[in-house]
A and B are shown apart, each in its own frame.
Chain A
Amino acid sequence: MKKSLMILGNVLIVLLILTFLTFYTSSEHRRLLASQTEAFENMTVAMENVTTNYLLGEQQVCRSWANYINASHMTAQEAIDFVGASVTAPEIMAHILFTDRAELSGISTVPKAGSDGDFAVSYANINIFSGGFEELLGKESTVNVTRAYTNPTNAIQSIAFCSPITLLETPEGPSREAVLLRIIPVASFEQRWTFPTEDYRSAEVSLIDLEGNYIIHGHSFKNTNFYEFYQSYNHAGRAHMEEVKQSVSGRPGTLVLSNAQGQQCLAAHTRVNSTDHWILVTMIPMSQLGRTAMDWILIVIISVGLLALLAFNIMWLVRLNRQLKAAAAEAERANQAKTDFLSTMSHDIRTPMNAIIGLTAIAEKNVEDSRTVRESLHKISLAGSHLLTLINDILDISKVESGKLSLSPVTFSIVECAENLINLSQPMVREKNIDFNFRVNRFEHEYLYADQLRINQIFINLLSNALKYTEPGGRVSVDLREETGDSDSTVRLIYRVADTGIGMTPEFMAKMYQPFSRQTDSRVNTIQGTGLGLAITWQMIDLMHGSIDCQSELGKGTVFTVTLCLPLADKPAEEMKLDPIRVLIADDDEVLLTTAKDTLLSLGAQADTALSGAEAVRMASGGETYQVVILDWKMPDMDGIEVARKIRESVGSQVPILLISAYDWSDLEEAAKDAGISGFISKPLFRSTLYEKLSEALGKAKNNANQEDDKSDIAGMRILVAEDNDINWEIISMLLSMHGITAERAENGQLAVDRMTHAEKGDFDLIFMDIQMPVMNGLDAARAIRALPDPWAAGIPIIAMTADAFSENVAECIAAGMNGHIAKPIDMKLVLKEIRRIREEQKK
């Protein structure tokens, strides 16, 4: 889904929720408001009932007084005395006003406030009878009450109930008309208007007449007239005002208006039944009514929350998208790299495959020509080896990428490691005529405890790169030295490979440890490589907590230095002591001479050194008698063979002459023997190598050179091979038979188990077990065999022989009860080594 579409969807959902929320709450608000409006109107009507009852009651009292006064023919003083005596509540008083006087004066039941017994009262400047006396008093059936006014006796806002009375001017005199006022403070009246609920605490009441003039004036009702008030704050035109007046003076109802503070208010109105010209108006801010119905704060919070959530989601989505885009780009890059890699692999795999298939065809066609067949098979073997290296690299990088690369430390000999390195490098050194030097300096400990396989891989990768990328005739130097480690149980192994090859650019150096990286160079493109070697090397060094340093200059060469801190093996150093012999050693490499001299001294021999062939000839022909002469093959003035020939002329054939070479000596073996060379020592000159070769030359140590060819120890062994693949079975059975070993096949795991179930003790010496087989796989078969009741059968050594070559596969095999693991394609040397190991263990 597109990002914009997703955001739009989110926005729509939020808007939908907000719209629904708004509509729902608005609808609820309207419903509740309507209900509360109705309730407020009803409350106003109820209040009118209270008002009516109160007014009628008060009017009745006033009228009763008047009736009594009229019936009793009282003078004004008698009347006021009577009324004064009749008043029960202190806040109530009465006035009698003589209507025949223009100034509307009279007498009061109580004296004027602050006066000394002044009972006179005047309403001259107070217009309390808006409709005139006649109109007010002419209606017997209604309540005759004034507007709220300031009582001239005590200046308290009051209303007065009126009744006409007739008084005598003197007890005997003529009568005169007057009005009796029963005066009640507005505050007392307002006490009757108690709103029934707390919700209406802000409500206020006013009484108005038909013209809108206030009779009783609520605090929030401004102006002197209700309609003026409405018009002042609601900008109403004449027509609208007429409607308002009609509405207010008609049936009970409500209207919405703005008050002086601009608040929306609800006003309810109803005619006061006890009067024909009064209207009760109540008013309350709408916010008071709507408060319980509409929680705007909640809505705002929800809205803000949703919008925040939306914003957060969008931000999150954008961030996620960015990450996805980056990941996609990364994946794209990786994919491209793998495509490139596969393309390269295709080329790299097809090349040796082409050689294998082509040479196989050549061999088939020339099967009678043994030389052609041998050459073809040799080349097929080389192509096969290259193919295997390629596959191993791919497997290793696969492990690196999955993070499953792990170390399997074993005790190993660094001497063997170096020898192996030299052996492996020889073909290319010779092929490219490279000046190859391998120096070992101050090497005290031969046995170390580390992952030999991986260390070999590191050393081989770097060395093979140096050899590959060095032009023919160039120089490659390897220095392997030992330094004191962090503790007594460790050594620091420093491996330095320097070449005079094509070098690298700084740009490539920045990414050379990334998988599938190969320098873009026309010279590089012609060289076979996977672009994985350095990546694997770097990972392995990192895994061993070592370091790798690279100095390179384009066109001048490269120097890789690897430093590994490795633990020493527990294996004690073999006691190596020579007889006190005298040795002459000749080499143009001073460093080598120094180290070789030191080593020979440590072995108990005395050594003299010569820096050239001529010097060696002179020294050997001199007075000194040397028990052994060691010569470097390549010396500038004279090669080792020539030197040997000359020395042999003077010293005879008894003194062993050994030739030192970092090169494969097979090609020069014949010439060397003709010149009187007794044997060869390969560089580097390890202590153990020198001891072994000198002992051998002096006839002290046994010659193990042909041990590999000695098949007597394994001949006659019987091996059960569980293998479903016919070709694989054919290969292994043939190879084993070549070593005098009898193999019996089981086509799957189940058959192997069955065979072992019925086997007699001694029928087999061990089992080679394939893992992936039909019916029952090798792991289950191993477990089943280990569970057999016969102790011999259950304890028979089982070696996995499988193309599952990862370390976890090895671990699975061991966990299933197997004793070892050989990866396919099989290396017969390894197979024999494993067989011999088993054999040795059985003997023990």
Chain B
Amino acid sequence: MRRTDKKIMVAAFCLALALCLSGCSSQETPAQPNAAAGFAPELDTKTVGSINVVGHYNNFEALEEEFNRFNQYYPEVKLSYTYLDNYSGILETALNSADAPDIYFVYPSMSGRENGEGVYASAENLADPSLRIGLDCIRESLLYKGQSGSVYSVPVYTTTYGMLVNEAIFEKEKLSVPKTYEELMTVCEALKKAGYESPVMSFNQNSFLLLPLYYPYFCAQLQASPDALREVNAMTPAAADTVRPILEQAEDFMKRGLISLENCNQLENDYNAVIMRFFEGDVPMMLATANTVSGTEKRESQSEAFTAHPFRYSFHPVPSTKDGGYFVNSISMGFAVNKNSKNLAITNEFMRFLVSSEELNRMARAKRMVTPCKDMALDEVYASFGSLSSDRIINLSELELSSAADWQVRKAVWQVCNGGMTVDEAIAAFGTIE
């Protein structure tokens, strides 16, 4: 063997040995943060602390993913999420307790957000410029600002009304997803003829029945007419002009026999029961909210019927007019920061990390909710909402429909649908319906 050859062999073995030895190294390469490309830590990344988020979700895996991503920057910070029983009832107690949470869920129904009262009394003003939280990534209409420009909560998820469509049935019956009210009627009739007892189903408690059908249209009427809105809020007889059409529409829908009350009454709740029933595979259209849609993916594997015969499904606006449906957007849940938090600095850092299009969109996708961000990155199940023109998008928070009037409308429709009242009776009783 020539000397050159020997040198080559020795060099090759040395290289192999070096590779092996480097491979044997026990030191692990630190994880490279891939979160939030625009985020740069402002605190010492070795900061030790804890952040506790409380809410009413039994689990919050989307948030836990964000915890993991935040830990890539701050590995010594322990983040946790705690479910609280009777959340609305106990939140103030929790905020006053020794183990007060650092971040807590807030909902539009919780009063005082404009003025920092009630549960918001403990909330930090997230619009404080010193916090440098990127609120500008959120749709303006979803940020409740006080007179001084203060913002006490950040919307995390928003919701809307619509219908879950079993695409397999539509394909089987050679039907298209309806885009107008007339098409909806035609499709329902066709499905009825094809043997579907209840082409449309809906949860029938808490005045929800047909809510996704009429409510967006009702809101659109109010948005278009401030006078009508004023009258409805005042629940005067003049509001009848606005309320009657939706009552008649609901009555008409029921009379056509396109929805089986008996079937709907079997749905125990508007979440798990609705989803599992839809996954049975024999419901062409299930009226629901985005909150319900958020639970679909996880329950696919829980449904034996769906596992045995999976099908494609999607969420669409309910075409309540001849021009189609609406995208009624409202806050589903938001975060408020406890200003008395023992870990306020790192909590604010977490909020600075979280409030960005990238992270909030990621959370929305993880839970199949609608993002509050301006760029509206929707999950594919919501694809049809993305094609709606801007004049068909209604921000419920801007509408200023009073809660009382809102509930009167819902109750009126529910009574009509369930045969408790006629349209006239409901109009007459509007404002006083129990």
Contacts and interface: CB of A to CB of B under 8 A. Distances in A.
B381 interface: no
Contacts of B58: 223-224
Interface in A210-253: 217, 219, 222-224, 228, 231-238
B59 A223 contact: yes
Contacts of A233: 301
A219 B82 CA distance: 9
B80 A155 contact: no
Interface string A304-317: 11001100100010
Contact of A235 (B54, B97, B307): B307
A297 B22 CA distance: 11
B85 A305 contact: no
Most B C-beta atoms less than 10 A away, residue of A125, A155, A217: A155
A254 B140 CA distance: 52
B48 interface: no
B98 A113 contact: yes
A309 B19 CA distance: 12
A519 interface: no
B99 A156 contact: yes
B9 interface: yes
Given A126-B86, A232-B302, A113 B307 contact: no
Given A113-B97, A235-B307, A297 B80 contact: no
Given A112-B93, A232-B302, A301-B24, A157 B82 contact: yes
A149 interface: yes
Contacts of B91: 155
Nearest to A128: B85
Contacts of B90: 150, 152, 155
B302 A228 contact: yes
Contact of A125 (B12, B89, B96, B301): B89
Interface residues of B, number: 35
B93 A153 contact: yes
B302 A301 contact: no
A222 B98 contact: no
Contacts of B85: 125-128, 149-150
Nearest to B80: A219
A260 interface: yes
Most A C-beta atoms less than 10 A away, residue of B54, B94, B95: B94
A281 B93 CA distance: 31
B92 A232 contact: no
Interface in B62-112: 80, 82-86, 89-99
Given A114-B93, A316-B9, A298 B301 contact: no
Contacts of A231: 301-302
Contacts of A126: 85-86
Interface in B285-299: 298-299
A152 B85 CA distance: 9
Nearest to A316: B9
A113 B302 contact: no
Given A126-B85, A150-B84, A152-B89, A232 B301 contact: yes
Contact of A305 (B16, B61, B95, B96): B16
Nearest to A221: B59
A154 interface: yes
Contacts of A217: 83
B40 interface: no
Given A152-B90, A305-B19, A308-B16, A260 B61 contact: yes
Interface in A108-140: 112-115, 124-128
A232 B295 CA distance: 11
Contact of B59 (A115, A124, A222, A312): A222
B40 to A, nearest CB: 27
Contacts of A232: 298-299, 301-302
Contacts of A222: 59, 61
B307 A297 contact: no
Interface string B9-43: 10010001001100110000000000000000000
Contact of A154 (B98, B301, B304): B98
Contacts of B86: 124-126, 150, 152
Contacts of B23: 297, 300-301, 304
Nearest to A224: B58
A564 B90 CA distance: 114
B16 A309 contact: yes
Nearest to B305: A238
Interface string A145-167: 00001101111110000000000
B95 A114 contact: yes
A312 B12 contact: yes
A659 B91 CA distance: 142
Contact of B20 (A128, A301, A312): A301
A154 B93 contact: yes
B147 to A, nearest CB: 27
A436 to B, nearest CB: 50
Contacts of A124: 86
Contact of A113 (B20, B59, B93, B304): B93
A114 B90 CA distance: 11
Interface string B177-216: 0000000000000000000000000000000000000000
Contacts of A112: 93
Contacts of B299: 232
Nearest to B92: A114
Contacts of A308: 16, 19
Given A150-B90, A301-B23, A155 B97 contact: yes
A157 B307 CA distance: 36
Interface string A657-686: 000000000000000000000000000000
A211 to B, nearest CB: 15
Given A150-B83, A154-B99, A223-B59, 11 more contacts: A113-B97, A124-B86, A149-B85, A152-B86, A217-B83, A235-B307, A236-B301, A238-B304, A301-B23, A304-B23, A312-B12
29 contacts: A112-B93, A113-B93, A113-B94, A114-B93, A114-B95, A125-B85, A126-B85, A127-B85, A150-B84, A150-B85, A150-B90, A150-B94, A155-B84, A155-B90, A155-B91, A155-B99, A156-B97, A217-B83, A224-B59, A231-B302, A234-B301, A235-B301, A237-B307, A238-B304, A297-B23, A301-B20, A301-B24, A312-B16, A316-B9
- 7 smallest CB-CB distances across A and B, nearest first, come from A114-B96, A155-B94, A125-B86, A113-B97, A150-B85, A301-B23, A113-B96
